[in-house]
Amino acid sequence: MTQTDMLSSDQEDLRLLRESARILFERAGGSGRSRKLRDAGGGWDAAMIRELAEAGVFGVTVPEENGGLGMGLAAGGVIAEEVGRVIAPEPVVVTVGLSLGLLRRLCPDHEKVGQIVGGETVLAVAWQERGPNGGPAEASCRYADGKLTGGKAWVVGADGADGFLVLAEGDSGPVLVLADVKANMLSIEKKTQADGSVMGELSFSETPAEQLAEGPAVQDALNEAVNDATALAAAELVGLSDRAFEITLDYIKTREQFDKPIGSFQVIQHRAVDLHVMREVAQAGVREVLAQMDHETDPKTRARLASRAKARAVSAAKKITRDAIQLHGAVGYTDEFDIGLYLNRALVLSAWLGDDAYHRRVWFDAREEEGAA
């Protein structure tokens, strides 16, 4: 088989994966399902987690020898885009990028890998901490004698998780431990975000936990998993932007003013074209990054690529969703119209793991460091 044939085969696999994921989400109810879950108090659908697992969604980046599909980050990006199109509340990117990103690098043979891939359990990753001023702080959560003490902040997917992968400091450096959601002396404070999703603030007080890995490899694996999740979040924003633009385009074709569709006005057409170009550029850029990250082994290069993708995707998503609200006019500000759901999700997802300003700074700093070397 020639290289061209291999590339064509890979593209066909991704196309089929995209079709399967889109059909699955549309059959489940699309964005309407997300609205219902939000109105019911947030969270996600456990039955949907199982359906996604049966479709192989959670195993796309996990090697075949560990029970996954071994399709790589590009396939994960395809799934993330479809998640974004229907603003699905299920923690797909968190699971594929962070949870499995850590486990497949540190302990690929652990039973939890197979359970997550199979949809039997959902684990959230607790790795950030809040300082006295409310911002991020150095790790102070401790693990000793099989128990955790301290706290973790901004835990995405905490509501509904069966347990937590916690990054803590042990006697010999960083450790990755597993704490059950029902463990003694574990408290969870839920904080609702703009899109109705929930972040968790965890507090441990001599909480029993199982050590999974320790040493410098833990921090290295975390950095790589965060890079994966950042790039996948960019893909989710691309899918979100794509659908928000489609909704807006349909609206301006049917909304009439002065007995004409507003889409026939030149100024509206120009704005629509600008948004279309921004969407296409972001989509191409993010997909290219995901493909490159699959073959790149240097951590610094992967981090720079992830920042490039997130910066591009955030800028596009914020511009497209905000303009979409304006193009809908007064009704765009009402909760009855779905476009508001896409704006709120874009705001939350843009801030997670760093916004466009943050990632541009990371990218430029990395380029300057590279030039100085």
Asked if 111 and 189 sit in the same domain, the reply is no
Reported as type and span, the H/E element at residue 180 is strand 173-180
SS3 for 176? Answer: strand
pLDDT for res 4:
47
Asked if 112 and 11 sit in the same domain, the reply is yes
Token pair of 97 as six digits: 């990028």
Asked if 255 and 269 sit in the same domain, the reply is yes
Q: Per-residue pLDDT tens for 320-335? A: 999 999 988 878 888 8
Asked if 59 and 133 sit in the same domain, the reply is no
Domain boundary among 184, 214, 244: 214
> Is-contact 244 339, C-beta < 8 A?
yes
The CATH number of the domain holding residue 47 is 1.10.540.10
- Per-residue pLDDT for 3 more than 90? no
Give the span between the Cα atoms of 274 and 324, in whole angstroms: 12
Q: 100: domain range?
A: 3-121
Asked if 116 and 226 sit in the same domain, the reply is no
Domain boundary among 88, 121, 154: 121
The CATH number of the domain holding residue 276 is 1.20.140.10
Asked if 197 and 281 sit in the same domain, the reply is no
Contacts of 216 (CB under 8 A, 6+ apart): 173, 174
Q: Per-residue pLDDT tens for 166-178? A: 999 998 899 999 9
Asked if 137 and 189 sit in the same domain, the reply is yes
Q: Which amino acid is at 128?
A: Q
Asked if 173 and 84 sit in the same domain, the reply is no
364 — pLDDT class (breaks 50, 70, 90): confident
Token pair of 281 as six digits: 């550029």
Asked if 114 and 129 sit in the same domain, the reply is no
Predicted TM-score (pTM) of this structure: 0.93
What are the two backbone dihedrals, phi and then psi, of residue 95, each rounded to the nearest 5 degrees?
-70, -50
Token pair of 174 as six digits: 């960083």
Q: Per-residue pLDDT tens for 258-317? A: 767 766 667 788 888 999 999 999 999 999 999 999 999 999 999 999 999 999 999 999
The whole-number average pLDDT for the span 122-130 is 95
246 — pLDDT class (breaks 50, 70, 90): very high
Domain boundary among 171, 192, 214: 214
Asked if 115 and 129 sit in the same domain, the reply is no
Query: Residue 277: exposed, middle, or buried by beta-carbon count in 10 A (0-12, 13-18, 19+)?
Result: exposed
Asked if 132 and 13 sit in the same domain, the reply is no
Give the span between the Cα atoms of 119 and 91, in whole angstroms: 12
Asked if 191 and 77 sit in the same domain, the reply is no
The CATH number of the domain holding residue 179 is 2.40.110.10
How many domains would you assign to the chain?
3
